């Protein structure tokens, strides 16, 4: 069975693949409708993640949109991912960056808790071993 990419892996690929595209937006003669919306080639992301194009599209359109889009206090919806007849598929790049930062922070917390737990376990085992010897 093939490995299923995590949200973190998909978003990292999108972020690092399209960061330069996001930065180069020209205000005088823009090459896309809005600076925050960056077109994404789902086929490239899918290839990098080792899954089908449909899998990445489905994850972005159905899962990411539901999980990461939000409604502000004025009732306006900020979507994570859209399909536009002029630009095709695009992501809200600052939202990608924010979600990615949160996922990386969460991963770091989990890794820290695992290290602390493993250290406590090793200390406990050493303590039990010393108590049995004495």
* pLDDT tens for each residue of 83-119: 776 567 889 999 999 999 999 999 999 999 999 999 9
Cα separation, 57 vs 81, whole angstroms: 10
What are the residue ranges of helices labelled H in 29-133? 42-49, 53-58, 65-68, 93-133
Q: Which CATH number goes with the domain that contains 70?
A: 1.10.10
Residue 98 lies in a domain: yes
Report which secondary-structure segment, H or E, holds 45: helix 42-49
Evaluate whether residue 128 is within a structural domain: no
pTM score above 0.75: yes
- All residue ranges of the chain with pLDDT < 50 are 1
| 88-92: strand order across its sheet | 37-39, 88-92, 81-84
What is the count of structural domains for the chain? 1
Domain span at residue 79? Answer: 7-105
């Amino acid at each position: 069975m093939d490995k299923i990419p995590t949200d973190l892996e998909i978003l990292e690929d999108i972020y690092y693949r399209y960061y330069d595209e996001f930065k180069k937006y020209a205000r005088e003669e823009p090459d896309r409708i809005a600076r925050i919306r960056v077109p994404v080639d789902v086929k490239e992301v899918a290839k990098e993640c080792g899954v089908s194009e449909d899998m990445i599209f489905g994850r972005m359109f159905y899962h990411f949109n539901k999980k990461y889009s939000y409604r502000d206090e004025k009732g306006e919806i900020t979507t994570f991912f859209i399909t536009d007849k002029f630009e095709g598929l695009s992501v809200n790049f600052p939202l990608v960056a924010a979600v990615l930062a949160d996922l990386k922070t969460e991963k770091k917390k989990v890794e820290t808790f695992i290290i602390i737990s493993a250290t406590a376990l090793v200390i406990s085992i050493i303590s039990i071993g010393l108590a049995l010897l004495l």
